[in-house]
Amino acid sequence: MQSNLDPFRPPDLVITNAVVAPCVTPRATPGLSAEIRRATMLVRDGRVVEVLPASDVRRSWADVAQIDAAGYLVTPGLVDSHTHPVFAGNRADEFERRIAGEKYLDIAQNGGGILRTVIATRAASDDELERLVRGRLARALSFGITTVEAKSGYGLDTENELRALRVLKRATSGQPVDVVPTFLGAHVFPREYRHDRAAYIEKIVKEMIPEIAFDGLAAFCDVFVDDGAFSVDEARTVFAAAARSGLKPKMHADQLSCTHAAELAAEVGATSADHLERISPEGIDALAKARVVAVLLPGAALGPGDHLVAPARKLLAAGVKVAVATDLNPGTSMTENLLLMGSLACMRYGMSPSEALYAITHAAANAVGLETRVGSLEAGKEADFVLWGVRSVAELFYHFGVSHAVRVWKGGREVTF
């Protein structure tokens, strides 16, 4: 780090004439720009050295690689802080049925839903699953995403949960997107244990978590706490085991019903509590006090058909750090398009474009415990950044549904996508 910041060593890459949004602090006030116009960014040894306003540029670096951004926007590489990419098959027919009025939980109770994807995922070979995950990571990169949190959760037995995490690890090698693995064996109860929930929890606690921790296959342990999934008490048991094995807690909380899962997230010191469409006022206070990051998933809020709006403004007003993610999964949110989620955060949740960008960069890095490495463009952070074909943060979300990524760098190296 010291040598990286040595002021006498020249940078090895200079980006000039850029509109840089460094995402160092959130800009809560709508209209208050978070952009530095005509900025220059210096990169050395794969890390950011400095972002300078043009008027501060003190030297010219004649022999150094330079990129003229021509007045276009540069931001940190995006961080997708909640995805479920390890699955086979698709549920397009359920999408159609929900549009025709059927309910997500009714479909799940009648042979569809998560358990249907479990059947398809168990039946897929390792190679097939790896190919699917690689495709999803490549699509994420095309939207300017350089770090992804990725969950298991469509195996739901020891063999298949471990297999999902191993396949994920293999799919990560030889491609540029960093993956933070999360164990989600507590997604729903598998068919085999429908009538003996305690036995499945025992499997998670005594077999899955110790083996996953021993093999270093996950950084986090997530539990889906909801009606039709795990109760608050069952989740507490899972998190106690995770803590003993060094897996940090994350949660699907207060999505389909208010079970006061957010309060549990605060109690166990979760890194993040995700979804939160039905969070209570007490839950909001609890997250603020315990400094749990809220991860909002506007795609998944549309998916089940009830079109709920997570209380983004209330969370922000309470001082909660708010991230936004895709929730890429075959049931409720079949998308890798994190920019579109930023647009939905603006248009449906009343977040300003600057808040939305912060939510898919710096706050998202907080949600996966990587805030000291990625998520903002400041001295010492990894030089993960994107040159976009737009000239402002507002324009990034205003023109929605497409990828504006033109060039992407990971650790100071340009990557192709």
Q: Give the nearest distance from C-beta 73 to ligand NIG in angstroms.
A: 30
The site for Fe ion (CB under 5 A) is made up of 327
Q: Which does 114 bind (CB under 5 to 8 A by kind): ligand NIG, Fe ion, none?
A: ligand NIG
**Contact partner, 361, from ligand NIG, Fe ion, none, Cβ < 5-8 Å per class:** none
Instruction: Say which amino acid occupies 165.
Output: L
- Single residue of 114, 253, 261, 293 touching ligand NIG by CB under 6 A: 114
Query: Does 186 interact with ligand NIG (rule: CB under 6 A)?
Result: no
- The nearest distance, CB 154 to ligand NIG, in angstroms, is 7
Smallest distance, ligand NIG to C-beta of residue 121, A:
10
The label of the residue with tokens 């003229």 reads 68
300 binds ligand NIG (CB under 6 A): yes
- Taking CA atoms, 209 is separated from 158, 194, 242, in Å, by 9, 20, 6
Among 117, 146, 147, 343, binds ligand NIG (CB under 6 A): 117
If one asks whether residue 296 binds ligand NIG (CB under 6 A), the answer comes out as no
Q: 307: which 2 tokens?
A: 């079109």
- When the beta carbons of 15 and 253 are compared against Fe ion, the nearer one is 253
Q: In the sheet where 293-296 sits, what is the strand order?
A: 78-80, 145-151, 178-186, 220-224, 248-253, 272-275, 293-296, 322-324
Query: Considering the complex, what minimum distance in angstroms separates the CB of residue 60 from ligand NIG?
Result: 50
Q: Which of residues 242-261 bind ligand NIG (CB under 6 A)?
A: 252, 255
Report the number of secondary-structure helices (H) and strands (E) in the chain.
Answer: 17, 16
Distance CA 340, CA 87 (A): 22
- Binding residues among 30-59 for ligand NIG as defined by CB under 6 A: none
The footprint of ligand NIG on this chain (CB under 6 A) covers a number of residues equal to 12
Give the integer Cα–Cα distance in Å for 313 and 26.
14
What letter would DSSP give residue 205? I
Contact, 295 vs 272, CB < 8 A? yes
Closest CA to 149 of 178, 120, 109: 178
CB burial string 62-86: b at 16+ within 10 A, e below: eeeeebebeebbbbbbbbbbbbbbb
**Residue carrying structure tokens 């396949």:** 167
Name which of 228 and 411 has its Cβ closer to Fe ion: 228
97 φ/ψ sector (left φ>0, alpha ψ -120 to 50, else beta)? alpha
> Residue with CB nearest ligand NIG?
331
Work out whether strand 220-224 and strand 405-410 pair parallel, antiparallel, or are unpaired. unpaired
Residue 132 touches which of Fe ion, ligand NIG, none (Cβ within 5-8 Å per kind): none
Which residue in 72, 143, 224, 349 binds ligand NIG (CB under 6 A)? 224
Contact map string, positions 321 to 340, toward ligand NIG, x by CB under 6 A:
------x-xxxx--------
Q: Under the rule (CB under 6 A), what is the footprint of ligand NIG? A: 113-114, 117, 224, 252, 255, 300, 327, 329-332
